Each structure stands twice: as C-alpha cells, then as structure tokens.
Amino acid sequence: MHLEIIRNKQQSLHSTIGKLYVNSSPQCYTLEPPLLPDLASGNGFVCIPPGTYKLTIRWSNEHKKLLPHVEDVPGRTAIEIHIGNFPRDTKGCALVGKTQNVPDFIGMSGDAFTDLLNLLYSGATLRNPDAPEQEQVWDVGDITYSVEQGV
C-alpha cells in the first residue's frame, strides 16, 4: 500500500495543511507542524523532510495504542499518524481530518482516523502474530511526503 501526503504550498506560521492519498485515491486532510519553527510561540517542531518512508502500525507509548508509524525519518523517532485538530496536538506527527476550512484546523479527526486505520489494516501484514499487542508490528507499505506542484 502506498500513501502520499501532498502539502499545500501556502503555509501558516503554525501549521502545514495537506491531503492524504491512499493508492492515489484521496482519503483525508492532514495537519502537520510548519515547514519552519514558530519561534514566537516556542514551537520548535517542523515537518519531516520530503521523501518516501516505510510505514508500519505499532504501539505508541505516547497514545497507549497501536498507531501508524513513519519509520526511519532522519533525526526523528515516534513519528505517527493520529487524531488531533490543532497545531498544539502534534509534536511532529501528521494529524488527519475530514474537513478543513480555516487555517490551523482540521475537523472530524476521529472519523478520519478510524476510516484510515481500517483501510491500513485491510492491506497490512502482521509481522509477528504470536506477539502481545504492545509488541506487534504490522507492515503497511510506504508513505511519501511532498509539496504540491504548480504555479
């Protein structure tokens, strides 16, 4: 399975909005930290670099449940895709939502996350089926981060 987050060229000081595609089909909106840190607010978090990364589902110590993880991001650990609506809800991860009509906000995040996770599990392979839940690793495929093209 291949996911792609295409980030909008227009950024705010607090967040980066994008669209998430699964196997080239639009799935939902995303909200990530800005391309550059917002020093005025003390937010030192920025988007992960453009590129293609391995995607798994595994245990999140932060959220205490299985979540999609973007693997092998240079200089980063625990980059996840999870529920959230505002820039304050992410420390470097991608949030997902079904609506996006004002800057620095995505709506219906829980619904978007549930739909996405169900879709990811439908195409994932459990690497270690005898492991307890906190040690399970599901291979999903990969995810590409890019910025929209055009004028």
Terminal CA-to-CA distance of the chain, rounded, Å?
Answer: 30
Q: Which domain holds residue 56?
A: 2-147
Mean pLDDT over residues 3-19, rounded? Answer: 89
Selected residue with higher pLDDT from 35 and 77: 77
Q: What pLDDT was estimated at residue 16?
A: 92
Token pair belonging to 139: 């291979």
Q: What pLDDT was estimated at residue 3?
A: 98
Which of 5, 2, 3, 1 has the alpha carbon at shortest distance from 95? 5
Q: How confident is the model at residue 151 (pLDDT cuts 50, 70, 90)?
A: very low
Question: What is the total count of domains within the chain?
Answer: 1
Do strands 94-97 and 79-82 pair parallel, antiparallel, or not at all (unpaired)?
A: parallel
pTM of the model: 0.91
Mean pLDDT over residues 45-54, rounded? Answer: 88
Q: Is the pLDDT of residue 91 over 60?
A: yes
Token pair belonging to 126: 């459990």
Mean pLDDT over residues 49-72, rounded? Answer: 96
Percent of the chain whose pLDDT exceeds 90: 75
Q: What pLDDT was estimated at residue 32?
A: 94
Selected residue with higher pLDDT from 149 and 70: 70
Give the whole-angstrom CA distance, residue 106 versus residue 96: 7
